[in-house]
Homo-oligomer: A and B are copies of this chain.
């Protein structure tokens, strides 16, 4: 009765690579996630305890704990002291990643398209200057783009960037996402603060999104920071609500 319904498919973890660059905890957590998402470990199942797992995998307990914790943080597992570790029931959705809309659409196997509506150097307003951490009135890059998927308009994107990105070309922006362009220049976005809301379509947004004038749009405002904590991008975007939404998984600490 003690060991009822304890799942731990050892065979999934048989060939861990101890020499390559991929951390052991990452190899374990990846395969564990895959096993849960695929249903190989069913919802509600209890996992074996940490000590037993670490012995069977030939890993230390901290390493196994870290692997499990990664999966807990993604909302697929739940841990209780004195009880054990269980798989969350119900269908799982993928996490909101720190990627641009362009990559979101790409990974969803659609054909993204971009029209650059504006691409200028403008003086920073008070708001833009504060968000980017530059002097008010100093030069910043202003972008306005229409984003489509399979020919259907999805979003109108307005971005402000520091002046060092003045040499980004319109052509680059029409064939790649902004974050891809930045990454190709060695800039990695590490942290972003987002605010999601809704309002009526304003000005030419209705036309650009091909929706009724004054119809509802989903809005997102974002400030993104690079490796060193410097603000790299400030944007406020609006999305066609029938074409896009935001998904999140929250885990209580």
Contact = CB atoms under 8 A, between A and B. Distances in A.
Interface of A: 43-44, 75, 77-78, 80, 86-93, 96-98, 130-131, 133, 188-200, 215-218, 223, 225, 227-231, 239, 241, 244-252
A198 B217 contact: yes
A191 B78 contact: yes
A188 B252 contact: yes
13 contacts: A80-B227, A88-B191, A89-B229, A89-B230, A90-B133, A92-B193, A191-B249, A192-B250, A194-B250, A195-B245, A196-B196, A198-B198, A198-B217
Contacts of A199: 216, 241
Contacts of A195: 93, 245-248
B89 A246 contact: no
Nearest to A74: B191
A183 to B, nearest CB: 11
A95 to B, nearest CB: 10
A175 to B, nearest CB: 23
A251 B75 contact: no
Contacts of A229: 43-44, 77-78, 86-89
Contacts of A98: 250-252
Contacts of A223: 90
Contact of A194 (B44, B190, B218, B248): B248
Contacts of A248: 96, 193-196, 248
A169 B127 CA distance: 47
Contact of A250 (B96, B247, B249): B96
A89 B229 CA distance: 6
Nearest to A196: B246
B78 A227 contact: yes
A190 B241 CA distance: 29
Contacts of A246: 195-197, 246
Contacts of A245: 195-197
Contacts of A217: 198, 216
Given A77-B229, A90-B133, 7 more contacts: A75-B193, A80-B228, A91-B130, A96-B248, A96-B250, A98-B252, A191-B252
A230 B192 CA distance: 31
Contacts of A91: 130
A251 B90 contact: no
